[in-house]
Amino acid sequence: MIPPLELQPEQLPSEAEVYQLHELVRYHDRAFISYAYAALTKRAPTPEELVRELDDLRSGRRDKMEIIEGLLDSRERPATVRVVGLRGEAWRRASRWPVVGYAWRLLRGLASVPLHLKHQQRFEAYSLGQQQKIADHVNGVMAPALADSIDAVLMLSESLQDHVLSLEDSLASLAARQEQLQARISDHQHQLEAKINAQEDRLEAMISAQEGRLEAKIGAQEDRLGATINAQQSQLEATNNTHRQELDERLKAQQQLIVQEQQVIVETQKVVMEQLRAEISTLATSYEQQSAQLLDQLRRLQATVESARE
């Protein structure tokens, strides 16, 4: 594991109430903001405060001295905390006046030119030292770690290539098995379709034969009934009027029997038709179940092939 690079060692401020100015300004950028807040307000800056102060510092709108003065003027600063080497609070207030403050800031800026030059030289030396520290860290720590990582990546790449080749062989065999299974499924489907078509043809032939027989029976019965009715009508016409009522009653009874026989024939025909329809429905349901099973097996095989490819 590569150790982290620390350009500025983290140092928490003490619980002291008096700080020297050089103790605060020796830190830079984010470390300066965090140290100044912890020393002067006794707390860490919020994310919003850290972003605002860093933006002012990096853009040049405020320097370190002005940020320290702003923290000293805040209400969060304990009354006993102070910074030695910083101008007094009265001078800071006077520098905010419109005309006098501008003149005071101008004179103070001219007077602090040598100090700024000294700070600039220190910062340049600090930047060069930090760059050298980064270079030493890269050359001494990260370069060997990167070399080891490259070797490990190459070994892993070779291993992955072997695995890919074995997976390709497995996928090829699975594809061949899939083609065989698809051919078997297609054969089973053709066989089932042929069986179903043959059963449908037999059922249609049986239905046609049953209908023909029923129609023949009904025609014969109708002919017999017609002949019986005609004979009875002839007998009724030949009899006397005294027997007409009796013959009429018999005729009515015969007609009722004929109607009942026709109803029985019709009901029998309906029962036969329902049985045939039930057989057709059973065969269709069996065909759908077999088709669903075959489709389910095909989906499982495709899922197995896809998982193997992944």
The series of mean pLDDT values per 10 residues for the chain, 310 residues long, is 56 74 87 90 92 93 88 84 75 59 61 59 56 64 64 67 68 71 71 73 77 79 80 75 80 87 87 88 90 90 87
72 neighbors 83 (Cβ within 8 angstroms): yes
Gyration radius (Cα) of the chain, Å: 54
List CB contacts of 236: < 8 A, sequence separation 6 or more.
243, 244, 247, 248, 251
**What are the Cα distances from residue 147, in Å, to 41, 144, 153?**
47, 5, 10
Rounded CA gap, 251 and 246, in Å? 9
Closest by CA to 25, choosing from 17, 15, 35, 38, is: 35
The pLDDT, as a whole number, for residue 172 is 73
283 neighbors 196 (Cβ within 8 angstroms): yes
Domain residue ranges of the chain, discontinuous segments joined by +: 18-153, 172-309
Rounded CA gap, 283 and 265, in Å? 27
The pLDDT, as a whole number, for residue 149 is 66
The pLDDT, as a whole number, for residue 86 is 74
- Please give the torsion angle defined by the CA atoms of residues 96, 98, 102 and 105, in that order, rounded to the nearest 10 degrees: -10
Region of 13 on the Ramachandran plot (φ > 0 left; ψ -120 to 50 alpha; else beta):
beta
Question: Tokens representing 198?
Answer: 């043959």
72 neighbors 86 (Cβ within 8 angstroms): yes
58 neighbors 64 (Cβ within 8 angstroms): no
List CB contacts of 198: < 8 A, sequence separation 6 or more.
none
Look at the pTM and tell me if it is higher than 0.75: no
Amino acid (one-letter) located at 58: R
Query: On the CB side of 219, how many CA atoms lie within 13 Å of its CA?
Result: 6
The pLDDT, as a whole number, for residue 11 is 58
Burial environment of residue 231 by CB neighbours within 10 A (0 to 12, 13 to 18, 19 or more): exposed
